[in-house]
Amino acid sequence: MSEPAYKRILLKLSGEGLMGDGEYGISPRVIRRLASEIREVRALGVEVALVIGGGNIFRGAGLAAAGMDRVTADHMGMLATVMNALALQDALEYEGVFTRVMSAIKINQVCEDYIRRRAMRHLEKGRVVVFAAGTGNPFFTTDSAASLRAVEINADVVIKATKVDGVYSADPVKDPNAKRYSHLTYDQVLEQRLAVMDATAIVMCRDNNLPIRVFDMTRPGALLDLVCGASTGTLVERG
């Protein structure tokens, strides 16, 4: 069995990544596959924390554009991430992976409150921890939550799951000449406004020297390869 390249990872999954071919909600097929891939990584002894988005259900900015108060809309977005986290926990436990959901907003009849020391303890005991409700604050994204939690729990890397195999100079679906970067600095991402994570999330990683790996989660086995040290996708780090 290969030696893992990381001891503790924070994997950021977008809500949209749970939809599969659908336009809304959670695909049982996709969530089962994700859970089985996370189980394989856990089986290597890697400590796994997850941050899950909510874009497959609600996005605050979209609701606000339709006329809703932005803060209320963001509260709905954060609650959407809790639903996704519970679905992920269910799928992981079906795979035999002990999992705890910890929410940044108090809903402690359905999951635990986020308490950093408790999260660290869960990870040390080999449990997968799913961080839900983003940062708990409106006007942020779950990408920023991923950077924040990764720094808080001393993760070795933020692994950002996307639908393409890394960061491109333009949208590769629309532009056939789009070039894929294998390596970028934080400042290149910020200056060129590359679609990796939002600027708040990138700055948080930059200021704490936390590498970001962007990879294609739709390719079966890609996560395991990456955790075993394959240089797939794009690495964002200090220059």
Assess contact for 135 and 105: CB atoms under 8 A: no
Regarding 74 and contact with ligand UDP (CB under 6 A), the answer is yes
Regarding 152 and contact with ligand UDP (CB under 6 A), the answer is no
Q: What is the dihedral of CA 205, 208, 209, 215, to 10 degrees?
A: -30
Give Cα separations from 104 to 51, 107, 142 (angstroms): 11, 9, 11
> Which secondary structure element, helix H or strand E, spans residue 210, and what is its range?
none
Regarding 162 and contact with ligand UDP (CB under 6 A), the answer is no
Which residue in the shown chain puts its C-beta closest to ligand UDP?
53
Regarding 142 and contact with ligand UDP (CB under 6 A), the answer is yes
Of 9-17, 157-165, 179-187, 225-233, the segment contacting ligand UDP by CB under 6 A is: 9-17
Regarding 88 and contact with ligand UDP (CB under 6 A), the answer is no
Regarding 77 and contact with ligand UDP (CB under 6 A), the answer is yes
Token reading at 109: 């009849």
Which string of x and - marks every residue 44-63 that binds ligand UDP (by CB under 6 A)? ---------xxx---xxx--
Closest CA to 17 of 157, 222, 236: 222
Regarding 102 and contact with ligand UDP (CB under 6 A), the answer is no
Closest CA to 111 of 82, 134, 88, 87: 82
- Report, in Å, the least distance between residue 208 CB and ligand UDP: 18
Token reading at 155: 């993760």
What is the rounded distance in angstroms from the CA atom of residue 201 to the CA atom of residue 13? 14
Regarding 137 and contact with ligand UDP (CB under 6 A), the answer is yes
Regarding 197 and contact with ligand UDP (CB under 6 A), the answer is no
CB nearer to ligand UDP: pick between 89 and 144 = 144
Regarding 99 and contact with ligand UDP (CB under 6 A), the answer is no
- Report, in Å, the least distance between residue 156 CB and ligand UDP: 21
Regarding 145 and contact with ligand UDP (CB under 6 A), the answer is yes
Position among 16, 113, 156, 225 found at the interface with ligand UDP (CB under 6 A): 16
Position among 99, 103, 135, 232 found at the interface with ligand UDP (CB under 6 A): 135
Q: Where do we find the tokens 């970028």?
A: 184
Number of residues counted as binding ligand UDP (CB under 6 A): 25
Q: Where do we find the tokens 């991923």?
A: 146
Assess contact for 160 and 213: CB atoms under 8 A: yes
Give Cα separations from 1 to 44, 102, 103, 137, 145 (angstroms): 8, 31, 34, 42, 32
Assess contact for 17 and 87: CB atoms under 8 A: no
Would you tell me which residues interact with ligand UDP (CB under 6 A)? 14-16, 53-55, 59-61, 73-74, 77-78, 80-81, 134-135, 137-138, 140-145
